[in-house]
Structures are given as C-alpha cells and as structure tokens.
Structure 1
Amino acid sequence: MQTALQPAIDTARERKTLAFLVPLIEKLRGLDSPLKKHQVGAVVVSPTRELARQTYTVLQPFLEDAPELEANLLVGGRDPLADVTTLQESRASVLVGTPGRLFDVLERCEFLDFKHLELLILDEADRVLDMGFRGHIDAIMARLPKQRRTGLFSATQTDAVEQLARAGLRNPVRVNVAVSAATAPDAANSTPDDPEAARSADAVAAAGTTVAGSTAGQRTPTSLQISYMLCEPDQKMGQLIRFLQAHRQEKVIVYMLTCACVDFWASVLHTLPAASDLVVHALHGRMKQRVRDAKLAAFTAPGPGCLLCTDIAARGLDIPDVSWTVQVDAPQDPDAFVHRVGRSARMGRPGRGLILLAPSEQPYVKFLLVRKVPVQEQAGVQGVPEVDNDSLLAAVRAASEGDRDVMEKGTRAFVSYVRAYREHQCRFIFRMEELDLGRLAMAFGLLRLPRMPELARSKAITNFTPSSVDLDAIKYKDKTPQARQNKRGGL
C-alpha cells in the first residue's frame, strides 16, 4: 500500500484532502463484498469545480491498487447528459463533484444505488453553505441512507456548519486540529553558559508557544509575513504594477473583489506600457470551464507568473510555489482574508502577503489584529522605478476610448465593485460614504459615470473628469463582440 500512497502524498500538499481520502479508500476496500457497477460507496462534495477536480486527481493514485473501485468527477461546464451516459457505462464507486451538478445528475440517474453508501464528505463545508448550496445539500442528503458516516471538513466553523451538523448528523463528534505546547529543541537543558540555547528559549517565551510554524494566539503561521499599503483607489493599480515588476521572477496571486474587475484588468494590463511584459493569467467563476482549466494549469506550471482572480482561488486549491498573495481589495467576508493569504507559506514554507487599503479603510488593520492576524505597514515598493500615476490613468482611459469592449468592461467592473463594496460584512469599516467614487471611476477608465442609485444618493462626486470622446463613435477592436452587438440591434 505504501507504493500506492506515496504518489498521492507527494502530489497532495493539502493534508485535509488526505485526511478524508485515506479513510474513504480504506473503508471501501474493507467492505465484505465489492460494490457492483452502479452502487455508490462514497460521495465527496466540493464548493468549486477546481477543488473538486483537485480532489479527484489526488484520489486517482489510491485507486491504482483497487481495480474494484472507480471514481467519477461531476462538475459544471459540460453537458449533464454526458455525465449520465458516463455513469451508465462505468462504475460509480466514488462520486466527486460540486453541489449543483451532483444534485442535477442524481435527479437524472435513478439507476444509481445508494443503499450501500458508507461515506458523505462535505469539503470546505462552510464555503459550500455560504455559496447558497444549502438546498442542494439538503436534497442530496435526503437521497442518501441515514445509516452512513458523514464528514464536514472546514477550516472555519460557521453557524451554518453547526446547524447542518445538528440537523444532518447522528451522534456527531467534533475533531479539532489545534496547536499544543512545545519548546525549542534542547531549551530545557540549556544553561547560562550556552548563549545560543538561552536566546532560543527566550525567543519561544517571548513569541508564545510555537508548533508547526504557528504562534499561540495567532491565526496565521509565523512563516507568513503580512503587510498593508495605504493608497487611494486610483493609485492601487500603479502600486500593483510596481509590485509585479519587482517580483516578476516569482509566482504571485492577486485577489480582486469581483469577476468583472478581473475581466477588466486582465484585458487592460497588457496594453499599458508599464505592464506589457508581465505574464498575467485570469481566473473567476464565470469563465467557461475549459478556459478556467487552461488558466489554472498555465499558472500552476513551473515558473513565475501572476494570477488575477476572485475568491474562487482562496480555498483549498493546491497551487505550489506561491511566494506572494496581493489583495487589491479586502474580501467581503472577513474570514476569506486568512484563506487568501494562506495560499502562500504552505506546509511550513515562507510566504508573504500584501493588502492595499484606502486611507479610510485603515481601521481594517486593527480589525485584523483583533482577529489575531498581525499585519505591518509597508511604505512602498522598493527596487523598481515609480509609476507615473497620471500617465497610467491616461493610458487606461485611452484603452477605453479606443475599444468599446474595454469601455464596457470598465463600466461593468465599476458597477460591480460599488455594489460589492456596499455588501461588505465589515460595513463599519468599508462605508459607502467614505468611498471616493470619482477616483474609483478614474481607476477603471470610465468615460462617463453610469446611472446607478448609489451615485444618485452620493454627494457631489469629485476627482472625476468626463471624457470628451463621443461614446457612440467608439467601435470594437474585436469584430466578434461587434457582431454580437449588431445582432442585438446596437451599433
């Protein structure tokens, strides 16, 4: 069994994944009689397609020595009828998928037999529920036998997870993985004559009990250093470009607030002289599945690069060799902050995180400290020339004036940003009244301010100058979106 296990352990840096896959395989291999063709022995539910695919990939080496078992991946992005056909023709020992597709397929596949099901696993259970899949989860659980083992695996325990545990689990048992006391090597045997050992013992006493790179009273590992930088909304992209130039030989994940923001900056960055030579990939949940797979594979390949993404890449994904995470915007859910920065400093390795905050958002630093996430201020990016912010904003606006697709993406990004900002869970920090909408509009290269209730309720909007360009005269550079616009009766 060691030979079969080793490849999975080598490729799966996510210990949590192994924590449920190893017992799953052992349980199914230990059945008195092997599962038949359409009998399901285990179901693993993941919140995102990428995480489901990662779990499925990690599972494969375990099945090499178990020919009587077969796993099926059920995620969106393909015809559900194709999944039904695959299940009809193959064994269905283990089903791995996202809640929506699992629910859809189970509704269509009456031939599947769940009477012998042993395990139901909800990976990142809190995220599954936060994404609005509670109805699907309830329907899936109703299809499964009550005599089963159910595992809820989550880095954070929310009220929704507790409610699900009480409602859907019989005789639940909580297993917490937490730090425990440890001392520095040989610290107990050190003497005043051994200065190195004495300093080591003093360091442990000063920093708190340290285990596996974590410090007591701290939610992030000590190998992870997090900093913040204060800058206005229209200065964030200039600082980000300087940062990416300074770390162009490293792998960096850049988190943005919405899918539309990712789309806009992914389409604009390569047109800016200061960023034209950067290797940038984009990933968010509204992309087609084949595009998502290609973008994630390109970024995870060996070598430096930058991934612009939403929180779709904040949970569970095993992306090796990430040196930095940059949060252009704070997440709506404060719990997501720790998950984001946790993409670096994996398995005891060093890592760094940076968040860009507007001056009015500086109280977020104290909020993080209260939540036991220490951060330090960073004055600026060292080692690379300053980016002329006025020239950068002019270049972004020029891109909008020269391509209707860019102009529309900028407007969508602005609107989605404002509405997402309004829904921040930390509204006492991220206050709409303090958001400089004029600077934000300039950052997205807007030529005119869109009509939206948030702008109508705002006081006089400063720091924004409308463009003199005739918006109706702006054409699409790419003829494909132009053709689609023509069909809709537009230009």
Structure 2
Amino acid sequence: MAAGGGEGQAAEPEAAVEPEVAAMEEPRSFKDLGVTDVLCEACDQLGWKMPTKIQIEAIPVALQGRDVIGLAETGSGKTGAFALPILQALLETPQRLFALVLTPTRELAFQISEQFEALGSSIGVHSATPGRLVDHLENTKGFNLRALKFLVMDEADRILNMDFETEVDKILKVIPRDRKTLLFSATMTKKVQKLQRAALKNPVKCAVSSKYQTVEKLQQYYIFIPSKFKDSYLVYILNELAGNSFMIFCSTCNNTQRTALLLRNLGFTAIPLHGQMSQNKRLGSLNKFKAKARSILLATDVASRGLDIPHVDVVINFDIPTHSKDYIHRVGRTARAGRSGKSITFVTQYDVELFQRIEHLIGKKLPAFPMQEEEVMMLTERVAEAQRIARMELREQGEKKRSRNDNDDDTEEAIGVRNKVAGGKKKKRKAF
C-alpha cells in the first residue's frame, strides 16, 4: 500500500466496488440475516435484540464470503458486523489462528477482544491482544500468520492517520492472499481508498451514513471565554452540572494530566486517560470510570472513537479539536442508545475559526451555554491555588519518571557489565 494523502485531501476515484447494499427499511432479527442459532442466543444474552443498520447490510454479505467495506460512524455496531460472520465461519471450519483484527488503540483492541469472547463463550473462542503485531512477526520465534482466514481493519481511517502505513504494509505481505478482508471506517479518505485497492478483492460497499451529523437527543452548546480563565470556567460547569458523569477532552497528554491533578486538588473525582500512561493504568482508568468509581474522565483523542462507555452524561471539549471530524467522535461519547446528553465546547479567542468549521460541518449554529460570569470570577482564587499545586505535582511526577528511566539505564549497564564478567569467568574456567 502506498502512503500519501490526508484527511483534508480530495479522494481519488475509487477502485471498482459493487453498488452499495440498500438499507432495509424494517429492522430484522439476527436469524433473518443468516446468523446461526448458537450465535443468535449469544446476541440475546448480550442484550442485542435487533441488528443495527451496518449489521443488517454487512453481515449477509460477509456470510456469503465476500470482502466488505463498511462505512459507518462510531457506536454503530461495527464490531458485531464483523465478529458474527467470523465466529460463524470458525464454527464451520475450526482452527487455531483464524482471524486478525487491527485497531488504532489498545483500549479498542481490548474492547473488541471482550466482545469476541462474549459472543463466542459457548463455542470456546479465545482471543488475545498481543500489542504491536509487527514486533511479534519479526521477533517472536515460531509466530506467523500463514493460516489466517480473516483480516479486519477497524477504524481504518484512524489507523492510517496515525501513520501506521508501514506496519500495515508489512502485515499484508505476510498473510495469505486467499483470505477474507473486512475494512471498516468512518470516512473514505484517500489513504483508505489506496488500502482498499491493495488489500481487498471485489469488495461490497456497505454505507449507512454519508454525511456528518450528531444525534437528535444531544444538546450541544459552546462557551466563549478568555483563554486564561479556562480552568475557572471548567470548575464552574462541573459545579453547575454536579451529579452527572463527564468526559473532558484535552489536546495533549500533559494538559490531560495537569487538569486531572487540578480537579483532584479541588475535590473532584477525576481520572486521566492518555497515551503516555502505562497500559495497565489506562485500562484501570477506563474501568474505574465505567464502574462509576470516578465521575470525571479526562482524555486525549485516544478515547474519542470506538470505546463503549455507556453512561456519559456530559462531554466537554476543554481544548477544541483541530480536526472538525474529531468533534463528531468526541460528542458521540454521550447521547448513545437513545439516551439524551450534553456537550459543551470551550472557544477561546484563538479558536474561533476552528469552531466555525465545526458548525459548518454539522450544519447548525450552536447556542451559548448559560453562564453567570460573576460566579466564575469568584472561583479564580481557589483555582489559582489548585493550579500551583498541580504544577508542582506534575513537576514531581516528571522528575520521578526521569529518575526511573535513569535507574533503568544504570541497571541495563550493570547487567551488561555482570554478563561480561560472567562471560570472562566462564572462559577462565574453560581454560583450566
């Protein structure tokens, strides 16, 4: 697959794909789609009463053994759309390594793994999330993908926007050509089209949404504020909407960590989730928030797509997203499965153009969130003290991390010296 292009670029003419499958007007059961009884029972146990639009379109095609391009937004039921056909094929021809699913983040990989195991619990399915696959292909003795039957690329546009083209190329070169490929993406970018041409054979396109939109039960607001008072406005909103669960999106790992420390110092049950945390800590944060042990999750865009967090009441864009489409994914964390929700986007004097792009993309003008400016200003002194403590804590965390890294380097050097000494001793013993 050749790299090139980006989100904002016009797409090249598509490789030949069959016409889009027409969406069925009436919802149907999974059994009507051709899903076998044992998997229908598993769907029922998971609370999947009726298939979603993308499942209605993609499952019958995949069960026929065709390659699929599925275009659907986050939260549309894509995992079921590829997991059910794979599990059904596995029932028919059992083997050890059957399907590979590529995702842009580890959290999404764990979530997909959980759904595969839940759907396949009665048939003894096991799944694993081995981290960076290319490392295993190159360094794990005896590991190969030569018997693979299915390749799934979920959130393909995001995989490619995160510059994993080289890794995807390497994987495509070592998996069988005689396989089924299911590619799912929120958008058909230029890069996704190139990947489609490189990886899929005569695919059927299943699209359930061609324009960017937010759900009707989502109440969307903005607040226009001076940049230096962002923290005070955030605290005001959290107080005003107390009793709700919040996801707060920040643009950087550092700001996510800083804001989490700030809120903790003010008595809020806040927890961070970002790419510089260890995998165990990231999963721990996610699980605490899911279990409602914490009411505020501060996150970078690592959590904006795919993750199933069912009870988010309010999404706050503390830092406005640089890419307008990320706004759709962020606010899509709330008002899910027919529930209502709120989103509030902070717009500073530096963000006006980005905000106008978002309004243009979603095709509506957002109302201002009602604020009492005087009450916000009354918070500034307490917030300033919490900011000072948070900066100190952030600095201490950085020093501890650097110290651990230095100790790790020293340990590696010491191990190297010991190995050399041990090697020398062994040679002397051999000499005698």
- Give the C-alpha shift of residue 63 in structure 1: 2.1
Please give the alpha-carbon distance, in whole angstroms, between the structure 2 residues aligned to 1:113 and 1:239. Answer: 53
- Give the C-alpha shift of residue 162 in structure 1: 1.0
Q: Name the counterpart of 2:121.
A: 64
Q: Does 1:73 align with 2:104?
A: no
CA 1:485–1:171: 2 relative to 1, 3 Å: closer
**Contact between 2:258 and 2:390, CA under 8 Å: does it hold in 1?**
no
**Contact between 1:8 and 1:58, CA under 8 Å: does it hold in 2?**
no
Q: Does 1:46 align with 2:103?
A: yes
Q: Secondary structure at the match of 2:271?
A: strand
Q: Secondary structure at the match of 1:331?
A: coil
Please give the alpha-carbon distance, in whole angstroms, between the structure 1 residues aligned to 2:91 and 2:372. Answer: 56
Give the residue type in structure 1 aligned to 2:218. Answer: L
**Contact between 1:224 and 1:345, CA under 8 Å: does it hold in 2?**
yes
CA 1:289–1:103: 2 relative to 1, 3 Å: same
CA 1:481–1:126: 2 relative to 1, 3 Å: closer
- Give the C-alpha shift of residue 363 in structure 1: 3.4
Give the residue type in structure 2 aligned to 1:111. Answer: G
Q: Name the counterpart of 1:294.
A: 284
Post-superposition CA distance 1:269-288 (Å, at most 9, x none): 223xxxx2211011101101
**Contact between 2:319 and 2:346, CA under 8 Å: does it hold in 1?**
yes
After TM superposition, the structure 1 = structure 2 runs for residues 140-289 of structure 1, keeping only pairs within 5 Å, are 140-178=171-209, 219-271=213-265, 276-289=266-279
- Give the C-alpha shift of residue 4 in structure 1: 2.4
Give the residue type in structure 1 aligned to 2:44. Answer: Q
Post-superposition CA distance 1:308-346 (Å, at most 9, x none): 110011010000111111001112222211100101111
After TM superposition, the structure 1 = structure 2 runs for residues 347-386 of structure 1, keeping only pairs within 5 Å, are 347-381=337-371, 385-386=375-376
Give the residue type in structure 2 aligned to 1:176. Answer: A
- Give the C-alpha shift of residue 9 in structure 1: 4.4
Please, which moves more after superposition, 57-66 or 373-382? 373-382
- Give the C-alpha shift of residue 370 in structure 1: 2.2
Q: Secondary structure at the match of 2:205?
A: coil
CA 1:348–1:379: 2 relative to 1, 3 Å: closer
Q: Name the counterpart of 1:428.
A: none
Q: Name the counterpart of 1:5.
A: 43
**Contact between 1:279 and 1:305, CA under 8 Å: does it hold in 2?**
yes
- Structure of higher RCO (CA pairs closer than 8 Å, 6+ residues apart): 2
Q: Secondary structure at the match of 1:146?
A: coil
- Give the C-alpha shift of residue 243 in structure 1: 0.8
Please, which moves more after superposition, 119-128 or 154-163? 154-163
TM-score w.r.t. structure 1 length? 0.64
Please give the alpha-carbon distance, in whole angstroms, between the structure 2 residues aligned to 1:30 and 1:245. Answer: 56
Choose which of 119, 134, 138 in structure 1 pairs with 2:150.
119
**Contact between 1:28 and 1:118, CA under 8 Å: does it hold in 2?**
no
Q: Name the counterpart of 1:89.
A: none
Give the residue type in structure 1 aligned to 2:106. Answer: R
Q: Name the counterpart of 2:92.
A: 30
Q: Does 1:15 align with 2:71?
A: no
Across the two proteins, how many residue pairs are aligned to each other? Answer: 346
- Give the C-alpha shift of residue 481 in structure 1: 6.5
After TM superposition, the structure 1 = structure 2 runs for residues 389-428 of structure 1, keeping only pairs within 5 Å, are 390-392=380-382, 394-396=384-386, 398-399=388-389, 403=392, 405-406=393-394, 408=395
Please give the alpha-carbon distance, in whole angstroms, between the structure 1 residues aligned to 2:401 and 2:145. Answer: 47
TM-score w.r.t. structure 2 length? 0.73
- Give the C-alpha shift of residue 154 in structure 1: 1.3
Give the residue type in structure 1 aligned to 2:302. Answer: I
**Contact between 1:283 and 1:292, CA under 8 Å: does it hold in 2?**
yes
Please, which moves more after superposition, 165-174 or 477-486? 477-486
CA 1:319–1:108: 2 relative to 1, 3 Å: same
**Contact between 2:275 and 2:302, CA under 8 Å: does it hold in 1?**
yes
- Give the C-alpha shift of residue 290 in structure 1: 1.1
Post-superposition CA distance 1:365-389 (Å, at most 9, x none): 4322321243423254469943435
CA 1:219–1:142: 2 relative to 1, 3 Å: same
Q: CA RMSD in A?
A: 3.0
Please give the alpha-carbon distance, in whole angstroms, between the structure 1 residues aligned to 2:184 and 2:104. Answer: 12
**Contact between 1:40 and 1:112, CA under 8 Å: does it hold in 2?**
no
Please, which moves more after superposition, 354-363 or 333-342? 354-363
Give the residue type in structure 2 aligned to 1:254. Answer: I
CA 1:483–1:257: 2 relative to 1, 3 Å: closer
Please give the alpha-carbon distance, in whole angstroms, between the structure 2 residues aligned to 1:264 and 1:320. Answer: 26
Please give the alpha-carbon distance, in whole angstroms, between the structure 2 residues aligned to 1:173 and 1:356. Answer: 41
Give the residue type in structure 2 aligned to 1:165. Answer: Q
**Contact between 2:212 and 2:328, CA under 8 Å: does it hold in 1?**
no
**Contact between 1:242 and 1:384, CA under 8 Å: does it hold in 2?**
no
Please give the alpha-carbon distance, in whole angstroms, between the structure 2 residues aligned to 1:325 and 1:236. Answer: 16
CA 1:480–1:175: 2 relative to 1, 3 Å: closer
Please give the alpha-carbon distance, in whole angstroms, between the structure 2 residues aligned to 1:477 and 1:290. Answer: 17
- Give the C-alpha shift of residue 5 in structure 1: 2.6
Please give the alpha-carbon distance, in whole angstroms, between the structure 1 residues aligned to 2:368 and 2:331. Answer: 16
Q: Name the counterpart of 2:28.
A: none
Q: Secondary structure at the match of 1:103?
A: helix
- Give the C-alpha shift of residue 234 in structure 1: 0.9
Please give the alpha-carbon distance, in whole angstroms, between the structure 2 residues aligned to 1:133 and 1:478. Answer: 28
Post-superposition CA distance 1:368-415 (Å, at most 9, x none): 2321243423254469943435424641564278x3x44x4xxxxxxx
**Contact between 2:288 and 2:294, CA under 8 Å: does it hold in 1?**
no
**Contact between 1:280 and 1:305, CA under 8 Å: does it hold in 2?**
yes
Please give the alpha-carbon distance, in whole angstroms, between the structure 2 residues aligned to 1:64 and 1:6. Answer: 13
CA 1:396–1:114: 2 relative to 1, 3 Å: closer
Give the residue type in structure 1 aligned to 2:112. Answer: T
CA 1:131–1:485: 2 relative to 1, 3 Å: closer
- Give the C-alpha shift of residue 149 in structure 1: 1.1
Give the residue type in structure 1 aligned to 2:136. Answer: V
Please give the alpha-carbon distance, in whole angstroms, between the structure 2 residues aligned to 1:480 and 1:44. Answer: 36
CA 1:486–1:29: 2 relative to 1, 3 Å: closer
Q: Does 1:106 align with 2:137?
A: yes
Unaligned runs of 5+ residues in structure 2 are: 1-37, 52-74, 409-432
